[in-house]
Chain A
Amino acid sequence: MEAPAGRARREKMAAPAGRSAPGEDGGGRNAAARGGRKGRGPARGPADAQFPPSFSVSEIKNKQRRQFMFQRWKRARRQEQLAARKKRQKEREALGDKAPPKPVPKTIENQRIYDETTVDPNDEEVAFDEATDEFSTYFNRETSPKILITTSDRPRGRTVRLCEQLAKVVPNSHVYYRRGLALKKIIPQCVARDFTDLLVINENRKVPNGLIVSHLPNGPTAHFKMSNARLAKELKRKGKDPTLHIPEVILNNFSTRLGHTIGRMFASLFPYSPQFVGRQVATFHNQRDYIFFRFHRYIFRNEKKVGLQELGPRFTLKLRSLQKGTFDSKYGEYEWVHKRHEMDTSRRKFHL
């Protein structure tokens, strides 16, 4: 009877000493055995000037108690951080102009692993390559684009409407339904009728989920995964329909060699000289290997501000493979294929 009472008294004495009073392993275990009082060890007198033994919330066996202690620890930590931040802010204000510049926060973009295929704007080799690749005829204005848009077999309403809207957005494009025809058979027909690009929207479970862009005479074929496709009428605050003016094209963040190729491929879908009167712009923005497509109408309020109004469909693309030559999935020569186990290992490595 004495011993437990003594222990209880010691507990009470030790209580004000420290709320998260440390317990050695033995003490911790005792605490657990006692059924989860605070994880304290035997009480120490003030004469013991020792380093407090480390205490870990995760060593408490009782779940309720452990959760309680963890919440308390978290709250305390948050308060400490707030206090530290306020102190820093006060110091910064006190210093005024002499304050050291704010440290730049780390983002994935500025932590990106340097890709050795990043294109340097002055690179001659790249310039030479681009002057002789399959898109050079477009960029030399020898050919003007003519697009054929089609879908996979038996398209559902959403896909059909997306095709129609895309046809309005991309000038000089035609939508044809594919009734069970093989792509390899329609490609020679397209070439014969002077089409420069073939766009195939693949559909799964009533939702478009893939896009194949094939540049026609003998150009590369890119296969994308499409997600978040929104039709024009689902956008909030939409304006009137897109007019027939040729839109401008914005290509953002295509920095590597592969990105350059894809960027040129997108650029070659639109006629070379845009009509600025129409004030329409199609944007392909690459961020972390996701290409966002948007179609806007803009107006310059003054030289510092521009207003945007979104018309037209929007979707996100992720490149899955780039193949030399027109569409040939079995025997084609793949320039780049997304291999999940090799390429998705690092969060900071991007390929476009």
Chain B
Amino acid sequence: MQHDDVLWDVIGNKQFCSYKVKTKTQNFCRNEYNITGLCNRSSCPLANSQYATVKEEKGQCFLYMKTIERAAFPSRLWERVKLSKNYEKALEQIDENLIYWPRFIRHKCKQRFTKITQYLIRIRKLTLKRQRKLVPLSKKVERRESRREEKALIAAQLDNAIEKELLERLKQGTYEDIYNFPIHAFDKALEQQDEESETDSSEEEDEDVGQVEYVEGDEIDESDLSDFEAMDKLEVDGEEEQEHSSIAEEQEKETSISKGKTPVKGLARKKRPFVEIEYEQETEPSAKASST
């Protein structure tokens, strides 16, 4: 005999039910045939001899029914009806199969069926879209790679490599006359003398105004100095330079904009500024004339 009430009395409140999951506010039922998922007197599949559910398997929905007549035959207990793929037809099928059943079960079956179809639709839509593939990272490998990257960075000596490459290109002449560095062997032999004379000329510039002996050197200085002018705008050391630089500024601005040149880091070259600005200002027009 089926004593539903006794059963519920035992498993519902007083003693243990293995399908029950208790939380602070709610009790859930983990039984696969439960229609609502909650642990209630009316939704417990064990405590109701007449019960029905809708379950989904591989995209197909089935209506499961259990009646008291078959309570003695557990293997035949649940009767399964395949529901149509058409939503309305399936609802009619449910109604038809559960025709004289309690309202609660009918309603809940239809609700559950609706929910299932909705999530099936969503699954189908999502599988068509691109899905984010999660690739597991191995911490050991990641750490190893980042260590190797650091070491490779140190071994690369990037700045040196780039500078070397640029100087190579300069030597090979890819820059063709933009920079007029003499590349004759004659000048290479006089390298050291050139360096000395450069430092000398910076001191002499004050005295010898018109000394334009090293034509190429002047052009370099002009391009360098045009940048230094702009840099010195930012880092002014004294008032003198401000006056000089402000006059020379406007002229320099035009040239710098037209040539697209921008200040180079002049922080490392502070030893030169004072003298050069005065030189510039005096010979500005002559230098301009020579370049054009």
Contact = CB atoms under 8 A, between A and B. Distances in A.
Contact of A108 (B155, B182, B191, B262): B155
Contacts of A79: none
Contacts, number: 102
A182 B131 CA distance: 10
Contacts of A304: 167, 191
B152 A239 contact: no
A294 B161 CA distance: 12
Contact of A237 (B158, B224, B265): B265
Interface residues of A, number: 45
Contacts of A50: none
Contacts of A285: 156, 158, 161-162
- The prevalent SS among residues of B at the interface is helix
A300 B165 contact: no
A299 B227 contact: yes
B265 A287 contact: no
B71 interface: no
Interface string B130-164: 10000000000100011011011101101101110
A340 interface: yes
B163 A308 contact: yes
A303 interface: yes
B170 to A, nearest CB: 7
Interface stretch (B1-9, B47-55, B173-181, B273-281): B173-181
Contacts of B262: 239-240, 243, 297
A290 B265 contact: no
A22 to B, nearest CB: 39
Contact of A306 (B158, B163, B183, B227): B163
- The prevalent SS among residues of A at the interface is strand
Chain B interface bracket (under 10, 10 to 19, 20 to 34, 35 or more): 35 or more
A346 to B, nearest CB: 13
A283 B173 CA distance: 19
Contact of B158 (A228, A283, A305): A283
Contact of A303 (B148, B170, B259, B261): B170
Interface in B214-269: 220, 224, 227, 259-265
A182 B152 CA distance: 36
A292 interface: yes
A306 B141 CA distance: 39
Nearest to A227: B149
A84 B259 CA distance: 59
B166 interface: yes
B220 A302 contact: yes
Contact of B259 (A227, A277, A283): A277
A298 interface: yes
Nearest to B264: A299
10 contacts: A107-B155, A243-B260, A285-B161, A285-B162, A288-B151, A288-B152, A292-B153, A297-B264, A299-B224, A303-B170
The 6 closest A-B pairs by CB, nearest first: A303-B181, A287-B156, A288-B152, A287-B152, A290-B152, A240-B262
Given A243-B262, A248-B169, 15 more contacts: A180-B129, A237-B265, A239-B262, A281-B166, A287-B152, A287-B153, A288-B155, A290-B153, A292-B156, A296-B162, A298-B162, A300-B166, A300-B181, A301-B224, A303-B183
Interface of B: 129-130, 141, 145-146, 148-149, 151-153, 155-156, 158-159, 161-163, 165-167, 169-170, 174-175, 178-179, 181-183, 191, 198, 220, 224, 227, 259-265
